[in-house]
Structure 1
Amino acid sequence: MTVDVKVLDGGFSTQLAMHVNDTIDGDPLWTSKFLYYNPEAIYKTHLDFLRAGSDIIETNTYQASVSGFVRYLNKTKEESLELIKLAVDLAKRAVIRYKEEVKDLDVSNREPLIAGSIGPYAAYSHDCSEYTGKSCNKFDSIESIIDWHKPRFEALVNTRVDLLAIETIPCANEAIALTNLLKQYPDIKAWISFSCKSDGKSIVDGSNFKETVLQCYRSVYPGQLVACGVNCLTPKAMTPLLKTISEKEINQFIPMVAYPNSGEKYSSTSFTWIKESDLHPPEEFIKEWLDLGVRYVGGCCRTNTQDIERISAEVKSWMKAHLNST
């Protein structure tokens, strides 16, 4: 039996830095400011990841929000939504170009998909609370969280992305709100990935990871969540979390998504990444994760096209071995 594994892209800001001569980390709009200042660099970054082997690229909308564009670029709501739509257009343009490049070549990602990136409210807060959970009490109800997310959510859905990437979610209440919002669009598929602690059991607001995943997965229509998992955590810390939602643990197969950072840790005071002494690259963990049930795998912060090439090679090796054993 053939198992379908999708290779995602890597850290957008890391690769984007190759194409811009400007500050990215520390800016309140992060990479989304380049939708206004340098859209061509965004297009080139998408193309880089496609050429590296990504089956799915994400739109540059993780930190894009109507609130953010109004506040930091002095845009109207309508202009802000146009920037979000532009992010999708740039990804589509890169896919069209890439498909032209490989039409006569033997590549595994001939039909790449586009995932509309939906980051947490914490990304707008610009206080690193996606890693601390500090923003989890900003809203007084699930409905108010939905109201904040809905403009970007609708803009991405209306541009007909292939699926949504609901990612780096630090709060159980925000995850519930976003899956409630997803259910309003029965034909739309998504994955959801969480910002987690390194304790092997918790998302950063302290909620139990396994329980939150199960609640989200079972709350939407069957097949609507294509995967649940973790992103932007060190590869080593991801494995125990993924094990808690493996088929062996919960007696149900839930496809998983995993895209770790490079293994470095981010300082919320200096806005810099700090290298750990015990650093293991993501590709060392890929085959174990695939055995656990990961079906969407890539990289997050501080990973680049070279990491995606290595991850893609590990995926191909695993799939070949899996095919030969069945």
Structure 2
Amino acid sequence: MTFELNHLLRDIVEKALLLSLLHLPPQGLLERLSSGVVVGDGGFVMALEKRGYVKAGPWTAEASAEHPEAVKQLHREFLRAGSDVMQTFTFYTSEDKLSVAGNGTAFTCREINDSACRIAREVANEGDALVAGSITQCPSYAQGKGKEAVQAQIREQLKVMVENKVDFIIAEFFHYIEEMEWALEEAVKTGLDVAATMAIGARGDRTGVPPGQCAVRMAKAGAKVVGVNCMFDLDTTLDTITKMKEALDAEGLSPFLMTQPNGFHCPGVGREGYLSCPEFPFAMECRTVTRFDVRKYARAAYNLGVRYIGGCCGFEAYHIRAISEELQKERGGKLPPASLKHESWGYGQRYSSTPYLRERVGREYWENLVPSSGRLQPPSHGFHPAPKD
């Protein structure tokens, strides 16, 4: 037995040494998308606001420099849940946004972005994850300062990300396709692969450009991956990406598709998305999607042809784990470490000491459950689906 064990250990060590000598680089984003599905991460700004590290209102990401351990811990939770990408926590981190009154940050764009890149890389190296440098919309666009002013802000962010050798760029949370095109023009110059996601619903961008046209313009501007993120719920996001796919197919374009919706039920909202919910931002818990809602979304997205599937605001680590578990087969049978403490469809309840809880197991029970808010009175505010439309 000892001889066999030593022989097995020797084989393992020899194989490990051989792999290290080969210096095989990890697969990049496009290679991973070509061979399977990439699981994104979840939301940072709202999660860290609840934990006391982000200020609601500005929603800027100075926590990456001010409280790096908090950001690192959230990255680790997403990695453990199955995320294949560590997206830098650099949301709203342009100098023009940081200078807005009320932010109260003493950190520069460079300091925040540099720290965010280093944190993301450290955690990515703990698994087999890629690092995505995230750039977002700039106030300069809405202020009418023009293309050069906006691109100057974008260049400052990209410069730090290139210096830190991120694996690819995500241009996300853009409300206007024109601004997105300006950002992509700069992002493509880095030579890195670029993904582009707009914060729009089925009605299109803030000027009325339909989602299909937005997708076509993003692809023609050089994005290898296109889609939508944040602002809208699971169902609206699926509807929007369907419209994008139809337009791309009609134009003979075939970028990879990506969805990262928010984690709140908000049907019927207008172009402002979940911002128009009276509970936003401090009482959204009653609208939170369940892990079973997310499994349904992940399957539907995959069946539509989406291959980069993640979440945004409201998506916690257990939501990302739900994506990983739903797409286990498509991910080569791989389950994330967090699944060691979780049995799908509630089967862990079999070990409960309470008899009636042991009955709450199985897909039929949990998939068909419509959760209650737990409140006996109706909402205190009327819901206006589109306050600015």
- Name the TM-score, length of structure 1 as normaliser: 0.77
Q: For 1:50 and 1:17, locate their aligned partners in 2 and report how far apart those are by CA, in whole Å.
A: 20
Q: What displacement does 1:316 show? A: 2.0
2:282 aligns with one of 272, 277, 283: 272
**Any idea what the Cα deviations from partners look like across 1:130-177, whole Å, max 9, x if unmatched?**
xxxxx8542243222212222112211221101111111100111110
Specify the code of the residue in structure 2 equivalent to 1:288: A
Aligned 8 A contact 2:62 2:112 in 1: no
Specify the code of the residue in structure 2 equivalent to 1:151: E
| 241-250 vs 162-171, which moves further | 241-250
1:114 matched to which residue of 2? 131
1:213 matched to 2:215? The reply is yes
| 293-302 vs 139-148, which moves further | 139-148
State the structure with bigger RCO (CA 8 A, min sep 6), 1 or 2: 1
Q: What displacement does 1:29 show? A: 4.2
Structure-to-structure mapping, 1:285-296, within 5 angstroms: 285-296=297-308
2:228 matched to which residue of 1? 230
1:58 aligns with one of 87, 95, 101: 87
Aligned 8 A contact 1:29 1:64 in 2: no
Q: What displacement does 1:249 show? A: 4.8
Q: For 1:150 and 1:165, locate their aligned partners in 2 and report how far apart those are by CA, in whole Å.
A: 14
Q: What displacement does 1:85 show? A: 0.4
1:262 matched to which residue of 2? 263
Aligned 8 A contact 1:195 1:204 in 2: no
**Any idea what the Cα deviations from partners look like across 1:239-270, whole Å, max 9, x if unmatched?**
22111232655443221010111134544676
Q: For 2:329 and 2:213, locate their aligned partners in 1 and report how far apart those are by CA, in whole Å.
A: 33
Q: What displacement does 1:320 show? A: 5.8
Q: What displacement does 1:87 show? A: 0.8
Q: For 2:149 and 2:49, locate their aligned partners in 1 and report how far apart those are by CA, in whole Å.
A: 35
Q: In angstroms, what is the RMSD of aligned CA positions?
A: 2.9
Q: For 1:50 and 1:74, locate their aligned partners in 2 and report how far apart those are by CA, in whole Å.
A: 28
2:312 aligns with one of 292, 300, 306: 300
Aligned 8 A contact 2:171 2:195 in 1: yes
Q: For 1:253 and 1:267, locate their aligned partners in 2 and report how far apart those are by CA, in whole Å.
A: 32
Aligned 8 A contact 1:142 1:173 in 2: no
- Name the TM-score, length of structure 2 as normaliser: 0.66
Q: For 2:289 and 2:85, locate their aligned partners in 1 and report how far apart those are by CA, in whole Å.
A: 30
Classify 1:319/1:250 alpha carbon distance in 2 versus 1 (closer, same or farther; 3 Å).
Answer: farther
Q: For 1:161 and 1:2, locate their aligned partners in 2 and report how far apart those are by CA, in whole Å.
A: 20
Q: What displacement does 1:17 show? A: 5.4
Classify 1:136/1:209 alpha carbon distance in 2 versus 1 (closer, same or farther; 3 Å).
Answer: farther
SS of corresponding position for 1:317: coil
Specify the code of the residue in structure 1 equivalent to 2:210: N
1:28 matched to 2:58? The reply is yes
1:204 aligns with one of 203, 206, 220: 206
Query: How many residues in Structure 1 have an aligned counterpart in Structure 2?
Result: 285
Aligned 8 A contact 2:288 2:314 in 1: no
| 228-237 vs 239-248, which moves further | 239-248
Higher strand share: 1
Q: For 1:67 and 1:142, locate their aligned partners in 2 and report how far apart those are by CA, in whole Å.
A: 14
5+ long unaligned stretches in structure 2:
1-32, 267-273, 334-389
Aligned 8 A contact 1:9 1:56 in 2: yes
Q: For 1:2 and 1:191, locate their aligned partners in 2 and report how far apart those are by CA, in whole Å.
A: 14
Q: For 2:325 and 2:251, locate their aligned partners in 1 and report how far apart those are by CA, in whole Å.
A: 30
2:114 matched to which residue of 1? 85
| 33-42 vs 239-248, which moves further | 239-248
SS of corresponding position for 1:87: helix
